[in-house]
Chains A and B, each alone.
Chain A
Amino acid sequence: MTNKDAYRLVLEIIAEIAPDEDLSDVKPEINLRDQLDLDSMDFLDIVMELRKKYGIEVPEEDYSHLASLNSCADYLIPKFKSVSA
């Protein structure tokens, strides 16, 4: 799995939970909340969808890793790998 793969999976989830957002130009290095209208409940939605779709658990102390697409990729790629292994 590449960073771009991880971006795509996260953006697919965001497209579901925030369907009004334009996701065509999300900058991977910039915090998602600085580019998109996302609140704390939306991040809980991301956590829930990762659990439902991919069986990935994100404990509360790790929520900060979901801040940007880059940090999501760094944090989630090992988890995707261990789930699919």
Chain B
Amino acid sequence: MLNSRIVITGLGLTAPNGNTLSEFRENLLAGVAKIEVLDMRYMGPVPAGVCNFEARKYQKRKEIRNGTRAGSIGIYCSREALADSQLDWESFDKSRAGIYFGITEHGNVETENEVYNISQFDYDTRYWSHHHNPRTVANNPAGEVSINLGVTGPHYTIGAACAAGNAGLIQGMQMLRLREIDFAFAGGISESIQTFGIFAGFKSQGALAKHEDPTKASRPFDVARNGIVVSEGGAVYTLERLEDARSRGAPIIAEIIGYHINSDAGDAVLPDSVRQAECVRAALAMAGLQPDQVDIVNTHATATPQGDIQECKALGEVFADCPNTYFNNTKSYIGHAMGAAGALELAGNIPAFEDLTVHPTINIDELDEECKLPNLVVNNPLRIDKVDCILNNSFGMLGINSCLIIKRFTE
């Protein structure tokens, strides 16, 4: 029972450069980055990844007004994933569905807005909104989806910093294997571009990207990289046990065959390549794979000077003798979608099962010597002979590392 095969049967996403998988993929292969300049409260202009999905497609204006941006992203992605899964939702037992969203943080946006709001009233707390608590409870984006879709099974978020997108998928997979549910909405969500605190925090840390051309600001592995571009976004997958998916004739996108989460137990913000390598090796072991059986490694690299080097060190060691393993990075197009990053970046690589093409890492004018991974696909897409396994890394603050491996579905 605990070893049930778990498959992806639907996918919905919003990224700064795409609101469907096909649009996202098209832009990743065409090298189209989408980063804008936002006029951030108290800070002025900052580069950021902004999504432009149509929230009204699935929500009334009042629901958008009363809810959160994270909630709207979650609803859009979940509804799109559900449609993609072709499940007969009307007749499905909603108590057997669960919602598991990874988030980096939640509540900063709404709290900052309320503090700003009462500052207009001399900090009189009588003007503090009654919407504040339902907006800031940590289950918010999952809860808004539960209400929107009528899901009466479990809903909650998994706080795992920037490793959260994978953590959401892992949670969904585990609950399916435990048979707590029959259908999972799982992935990652982020509304972080609406909080100045995230930007200011990275800036104080010396880790906020700047560039005169915002589309070139996110440049992992380049010598001129200077930090993170914060983005919003989301990716929600519908997951099912293989036997259920098969019995209803569901479209099967891929199978999740391995994962691992571990902790550095060291520095709060500096990554640890030893623990990262351990995490990747443990995920490979769970999947029953040797490193050279992985075709694409989608890196986490956020374009911080130290972080990228540490990840390359870990990957260089694990994949030392793997001439057919290729590496790429998606943040170079869309910035760092925080809690959504892992799930979103994995999604952008899934079409490689069909088109056998590795989307490149863009914005590399001069590759950092310390980031010279063998087979790093730079600036131009690369068609390869086979794509059967894709590995995604996502790491986060306080030393949380996650790794997820998916496989082309075969009986």
Tell whether A pairs with B.
yes
Chain B residue numbers with a CB within 8 Å of A44 are 130
Contact among B62, B130, B131 with A18 in the assembled complex (CB-CB below 8 Å): B62
| Assembly CA distance A42 to B65 (angstroms) | 11
Number of A-B contacts (CB under 8 A): 23
Chain A residue numbers with a CB within 8 Å of B65 are 17, 19
- Interface residue? B248 (CB, 8 A): no
Contact among A18, A19, A42, A48 with B129 in the assembled complex (CB-CB below 8 Å): A48
15 A-B interface contacts by CB (under 8 A): A17-B62, A17-B65, A18-B62, A19-B65, A20-B60, A20-B62, A37-B62, A41-B66, A41-B130, A41-B131, A44-B130, A45-B130, A48-B127, A52-B121, A52-B127
Which residues of B43-84 are within 8 A (CB) of A?
A: 60-62, 65-66
| Assembly CA distance A51 to B65 (angstroms) | 19
Q: What is the interface size of chain A, counting residues whose CB is below 8 A from a CB of the partner?
A: 12
Q: How large is the interface on B (under 10, 10 to 19, 20 to 34, 35 or more residues)?
A: 10 to 19
Which residues of A27-64 are within 8 A (CB) of B?
A: 37, 41-42, 44-45, 48, 51-52
Chain B residue numbers with a CB within 8 Å of A45 are 130
Q: How distant is A57 from chain B, measured CB to nearest CB, in Å?
A: 8
B residues at A contact (CB < 8 Å): 60-62, 65-66, 121, 126-127, 129-131
| Assembly CA distance A45 to B127 (angstroms) | 11
Chain A residue numbers with a CB within 8 Å of B127 are 48, 51-52
| Assembly CA distance A17 to B121 (angstroms) | 20
> Is the pair A19, B126 in contact by a Cβ cutoff of 8 Å?
no
| Assembly CA distance A44 to B62 (angstroms) | 14
Interface string of A5-20 (1 = CB under 8 A from B): 0000000000001111
Chain A residue numbers with a CB within 8 Å of B130 are 41, 44-45, 48
Report, nearest first, the 3 A-B pairs whose CB atoms are least far apart: A19-B61, A44-B130, A20-B60
Chain A residue numbers with a CB within 8 Å of B66 are 41
Q: How distant is A45 from chain B, measured CB to nearest CB, in Å?
A: 8
Chain A residue numbers with a CB within 8 Å of B126 are 51
Chain B residue numbers with a CB within 8 Å of A19 are 61-62, 65
Kindly name the residue among B61, B62, B130 whose own CB sees the greatest number of chain A CB atoms within 10 A.
B62
Q: How distant is B64 from chain A, measured CB to nearest CB, in Å?
A: 9
Q: Which residue of A lies closest to B66 (CB)?
A: A41
Q: Which residue of B lies closest to A42 (CB)?
A: B62
| Assembly CA distance A37 to B63 (angstroms) | 12
Chain B residue numbers with a CB within 8 Å of A42 are 62
Chain B residue numbers with a CB within 8 Å of A20 are 60-62
Q: How distant is A41 from chain B, measured CB to nearest CB, in Å?
A: 7
Chain B residue numbers with a CB within 8 Å of A37 are 62
Q: Which residue of A lies closest to B124 (CB)?
A: A51
Q: How distant is B224 from chain A, measured CB to nearest CB, in Å?
A: 46
| Assembly CA distance A52 to B121 (angstroms) | 9
| Assembly CA distance A17 to B127 (angstroms) | 16
Kindly name the residue among A17, A42, A45 whose own CB sees the greatest number of chain B CB atoms within 10 A.
A45
